[in-house]
Amino acid sequence: MTNAPKRYLVLCTGNRCRSQMAHGWLQHLGPEVLGESVDVFSAGTQPKGVHPLSIKVMAERGVDIAGHSSDHVDRYANQSFDAVVTVCDSAQEACPVFPGAERTIHHAFDDPDDKTGTKTEEELLPTFRRVRDEIGAWCRAFLEAER
């Protein structure tokens, strides 16, 4: 009899950048670090679609998140998770409690998106790459602690 894969839910308000990157990293790194695949989901309280630069910078590291969807947290309300991870301060405050989660973890990352809409892609890419790498390092450490 095999054990069920670990289940993780990553939350961020817009489910556009940080939570999508964490979702991708956890799914990508799970087999390498844990020796088995993991079930990862991401959602937000105000989902806005996956940011194209999130897709682009993750692809630079060999992680494909192009097929991800931007889901509302209510979709996962009655499910069980090994951990629910909030990656922005707004999500920590605004997201509902998940009674089916063994634990909730908060680790905020900078928002790489430009809320003003004044920056070019070239101006945004360095921030997206920095945040991608910070999230990737955190996800690796998180999974190593899960072993």
The model's pLDDT over 93-123, given as tens digits with 9 standing for 90+, comes to 787 889 889 999 999 999 999 888 899 999 9
Q: Which residues are catalytic?
A: 12, 88, 95
Residues of the chain with pLDDT under 70: 1-2
The pLDDT of residue 115 is: 82
pTM check: above 0.85: yes
The pLDDT of residue 1 is: 42
The pLDDT of residue 68 is: 97
Q: Which domains does the chain have, with CATH numbers?
A: 7-146 (3.40.50.2300)
Q: How would you list the strands of the sheet with 7-11, edge to edge?
A: 71-72, 39-44, 7-11, 83-86, 104-106
The pLDDT of residue 26 is: 98
The separation between the first and the last C-alpha atoms of the chain, rounded to the nearest angstrom, is 19
The pLDDT of residue 102 is: 95
124-132: list long-range contacts, CB under 8 Å, 24+ apart: 124/53, 125/53, 125/56, 125/57, 128/17, 128/53, 128/54, 128/56, 128/57, 129/57, 129/60, 131/17, 131/18, 131/21, 132/21, 132/54, 132/57, 132/58, 132/61
Q: Where are the alpha helices (DSSP H) in the chain?
A: 18-34, 52-60, 89-94, 121-146
The pLDDT of residue 2 is: 56
Alpha-carbon torsion 116, 117, 122, 126, what sign? positive
- Average pLDDT of the chain, as a whole number: 94
